[in-house]
Amino acid sequence: MATINANYNKLSAGYLFPEIARRTGAYLDDHPDVHVMRLGIGNTTEPLPPSVIRYLHQAVDNLAAVDTYTGYANGSEGNLDLREAIAGRYAERGVTLDPDEIFVSDGGKPDSANIQSIFGLDNVVAVQDPAYPVYVDSNVIAGRTGKSEAGQYEGIVYMPCTEANGFFPELPADKVDLIYICSPNNPIGSVATASQLQTFVDYAREHRAVIIFDAAYCAYISDPKLPHSIFEVDGASSCAIEINSFSKDTGFTGVRLGWTVVPRELAVEDAGSGVVNGLWRRRQNTMFNGASNIVQGGGLAVFTEAGKAECAAMVAYYMANAARIRSGLERMGLTVYGGVHAPYLWMKTPGGMGSWEFFDKLLSEARVVGTPGAGFGPSGEGFFRLSAFGHREDIESAVESIERNLRL
């Protein structure tokens, strides 16, 4: 008799973004003539850079001729030229990586979910709180947690990121095994300094723990002194895995392309150097046939001089949106964080209002959709995330509507 994976039943409520869509849909059903403006999901809106389009077309054309056609040629690890180009980007930040330590995938989110599968189910997981939901939910599904009580899962160590600690957590009080860190942080928009990351690297090395570092928004860091990769921190190659994405600075949210770095030096309690790298390779070879050849061809354009300039212009566009949102909210007297080194703004809800309560208020009064902080974890309650991804005119309309219609 077939049975289900009962761990799915532990997942609390619906996944955050479908729940936002459900509530928004219900509002529109009751108000069919209303135009809703969306500052919620971090979904890019601007066209792909011209260089990427040219490379994508070339990759398609290559499939039309016998001498340039490729089937599984790239392998599950990814196109070697692309992995070498990614390694070159790290080299610009003083980080030396071998292409065999880089695994190209169909995006940072699936890698963030799948990476836990190569670790034992008895590993204790710690997450920044608030956190991108996939870190927690993937470990719930795997069976590393108990039930959810008051917004927290039994067995997960939550590391609060609050106003009091500058939105960077303290070290776990007890030993943990897998530590999820995101910088620039989604949803908060804060960036970790080298010294802050060093404390976690030192902890991980002492306890033979592994840091799973999400750097998907590193292209938005405007201060060159702030680390773009955890591997800029001494000792990180022995205790960290890094996940990154083409989605947010290149516009590949729907095209799908990302990568994960698993250093050969990385070691854990029961396995020495090279083993974890080999396990991820084995996992990918077993369950993944590689990212689309066409998409990887487009990805190569990102590392050309023209591609770099075009992607930088896209980042600047979204960051100008962020500045516009932040200035509008601050004029209203609201407390806002982020929006400086990341395309997200973390707003304190007015009057101690609950974050889902504020979601309904913002939608009904200003016709604007954002993301309730509570959906990212317990420490997100009382905050609200707004996204700078959007067409400039839509951002302007949303901010003007908030300033004109939101009653504080």
Q: What is the pLDDT of residues 1-54, one digit of tens each?
A: 999 999 999 997 666 778 888 999 999 999 999 999 999 778 999 999 999 999
CB distance 202 to 169 below 8 Å? no
CB distance 90 to 282 below 8 Å? no
Q: How far apart are alpha carbons 28 and 77 in whole angstroms?
A: 44
Which pLDDT score is estimated for 199?
Answer: 98
Which pLDDT score is estimated for 224?
Answer: 95
Q: How far apart are alpha carbons 374 and 380 in whole angstroms?
A: 4
Q: How far apart are alpha carbons 123 and 276 in whole angstroms?
A: 15
Which pLDDT score is estimated for 19?
Answer: 84
Q: Which of 319, 305, 128 is nearest to 221 (CA)?
A: 319
pLDDT tens-digit map of 269-322: 999 999 999 999 999 999 999 999 999 999 999 999 999 999 999 999 999 999
Which pLDDT score is estimated for 14?
Answer: 65
Which pLDDT score is estimated for 13?
Answer: 65
Q: Name every residue whose Cβ is closer than 8 Å to that of residue 54 and which is 6 or more positions away in sequence.
A: 301
274: left (phi over 0), alpha (psi -120 to 50) or beta: left
| DSSP-derived secondary structure letter, 8 | G
Q: Digits of tens for pLDDT over the chain (408 positions)?
A: 999 999 999 997 666 778 888 999 999 999 999 999 999 778 999 999 999 999 999 999 999 999 999 988 678 999 999 999 999 999 999 999 999 999 999 999 999 999 999 999 999 999 999 999 999 999 999 999 999 988 899 999 999 999 999 999 999 999 999 999 999 999 999 999 999 999 999 999 999 999 999 999 999 999 999 999 999 999 999 999 999 999 999 999 999 999 999 999 999 999 999 999 999 999 999 999 999 999 999 999 999 999 999 999 999 999 999 999 999 999 999 999 999 999 999 999 999 999 999 999 999 999 999 999 999 999 999 999 999 999 999 999 999 999 999 999
Q: Read off the amino acid at residue 74.
A: N
Q: Which of 372, 328, 271 is nearest to 14 (CA)?
A: 372
The predicted model scores a pTM of 0.96
CB distance 126 to 157 below 8 Å? yes
Helix (H, G, I), strand (E, B) or coil at 38: strand
367-404 CB burial, b ≥16 within 10 A, e <16: bbbbbbbbbbbebbbbbbbbbbbbeeeebbbbbebbee
CB distance 282 to 255 below 8 Å? no
